[in-house]
Structure 1
Amino acid sequence: MSVQGEPRREAASEEYTSSLPGPLGWLDVAIARIEAIMLGVGVLLMAANTIANVLGRFVFQNSIFFSEELNSILIILITFAGISYAARQGRHIRMSAIYDALPPKTRKALMIMISLITAAFMLALAWYALGYIFTQAGRGRVLPALQIPVWWTLVWVPVGFLLTGLQYLLTAIKNLIEKDIYLSTHVLEGYDDDEVEV
């Protein structure tokens, strides 16, 4: 039995580049940049908001009244940008005991099928999330402290599902055009040399 380490990654430069051809490569790079901006801005704003609230509470004896609502919005942003980022990095949980025992051609076919089915589910969830946002917009509810419409806080949900669905679709395409088996557009199937035999 082997304890498996990190998935193998292609060599990456500081700035993300895609090995997919033409418009697919541009789409892959655009998704990577959108994820990076969403995650970076979300984490930095959450840290700044939390620090400002702590300083306000303990230094000025007065909390920021909208801090909790803002952090809730940022958690939604980070969560749904994070599912796309995890798909790009090949980090979603996989049950791979049977998969790993299959021959390479079968694993490749299975990876294409898994990627396409997951893409379909993610895109369907994006569609349903969009419908839910329209329902919330019709209700006219607003957040108590920030006084902004509730549906604004949920915009990140369909965006995250859409980016994740596109990421899995690109993974399926990558597996169709490349010889190797890929967990994502730049993460090869397999494990690093540091796997431990038990």
Structure 2
Amino acid sequence: MDYLQSTVERISRWSVYFCGALLLGCVGLITFEVVGRKLFNHSLLAVEELSGYALAISVAWGISYTLLQKGHIRIDALYVHLPAPLRRILDVAALLALALVFGTLVWHASGVLHESLRLGAKASTPLATPLWIPQSLWLAGLGFFCLCVFMLLARAAQLILRGDFAGLEREIGAHNTEQEVEFELAAERERNQASNISGDR
């Protein structure tokens, strides 16, 4: 389980770099498009299409890292005042709800991809992009997110069976104020170390 978790976390970290590069590429294309229209009266025609694909793919892959880092927004005004056992039940219920919603989404998305492959569907744009290409990348990201959710559920079950409820709260519970502060301090230390290394070079 620990090996699977570390592997999934490593893949999710690299997927964030991929998403960032994808979005930066979109920014470059959009900038080139705006400048080209303004100065040369020329348009690339495909920027909007490619940007749409990039956004969908980057969201699908980025949500896994956000989940593992507990970065998704939680409305915890009531949550923080509840007894610890009830908080743990809600944390597990939230993961089960994610598994249900995204499992359904992956099921239907795989049907869409299958249909695109069967029909040889292409985008009705100047690029005429074969739709299976962006759809398969999007589906892979959603599938990886489901894997992350099921891994966390398995980890939660393991901790519950051990009776390690403090570990359960630490693994899947929402950050409390002290944890948020510690997280920000750790991030600041990492940024300082990175700047010191670049300064030494």
Q: Shorter-chain-normalised TM-score: which range? A: 0.7 to 0.9
- By percentage of residues, which structure has more helix? 2
Partner of 2:140: 159
Q: Residue 154 of structure 1 aligns to a residue in which SS?
A: helix
Q: Indicate the structure whose relative CO is greater, using CA pairs within 8 Å and at least 6 residues apart.
A: 1
Q: Tell me how far apart the structure 1 counterparts of residues 25 and 170 of structure 2 sit (CA, whole Å).
A: 34
Matches within 5 A, 1:170-185: 170-175=151-156, 176-177=158-159, 179-180=166-167, 181-182=169-170, 184=172
Q: Tell me how far apart the structure 2 counterparts of residues 160 and 101 of structure 1 sit (CA, whole Å).
A: 35
- Name the Cα RMSD after superposition: 2.6
Deviation string 1:57-77 (CA, Å, 9 cap, x unpaired) is: 123221112222111211211
Q: Tell me how far apart the structure 2 counterparts of residues 168 and 23 of structure 1 sit (CA, whole Å).
A: 13
Contact 1:174 1:182 in 2 (8 A): no
Q: Residue 189 of structure 1 aligns to a residue in which SS?
A: coil
Contact 1:140 1:149 in 2 (8 A): yes
Q: Tell me how far apart the structure 2 counterparts of residues 157 and 146 of structure 1 sit (CA, whole Å).
A: 19
CA 39–92 in structure 1, closer or farther in 2 if over 3 Å, else same: same
Unaligned runs of 5+ in 2: 182-201
Contact 2:99 2:146 in 1 (8 A): yes
Matches within 5 A, 1:41-190: 41-143=21-123, 144-175=125-156, 176-177=158-159, 179-180=166-167, 181-182=169-170, 184=172, 189-190=175-176
Offset of 1:23 from its aligned partner? 2.6
Contact 1:125 1:158 in 2 (8 A): no
Partner of 2:177: 191
Offset of 1:189 from its aligned partner? 2.8
Matches within 5 A, 1:28-39: 28-33=9-14, 35-39=15-19
Amino acid at match of 1:99: Y
Offset of 1:49 from its aligned partner? 0.8
- By percentage of residues, which structure has more strand? 1
Q: How many residues align?
A: 172
Unaligned runs of 5+ in 1: 1-19
CA 166–182 in structure 1, closer or farther in 2 if over 3 Å, else same: farther
Q: Tell me how far apart the structure 2 counterparts of residues 22 and 142 of structure 1 sit (CA, whole Å).
A: 40
CA 56–37 in structure 1, closer or farther in 2 if over 3 Å, else same: same
Partner of 1:21: 2
Q: Tell me how far apart the structure 1 counterparts of residues 109 and 33 of structure 2 sit (CA, whole Å).
A: 31
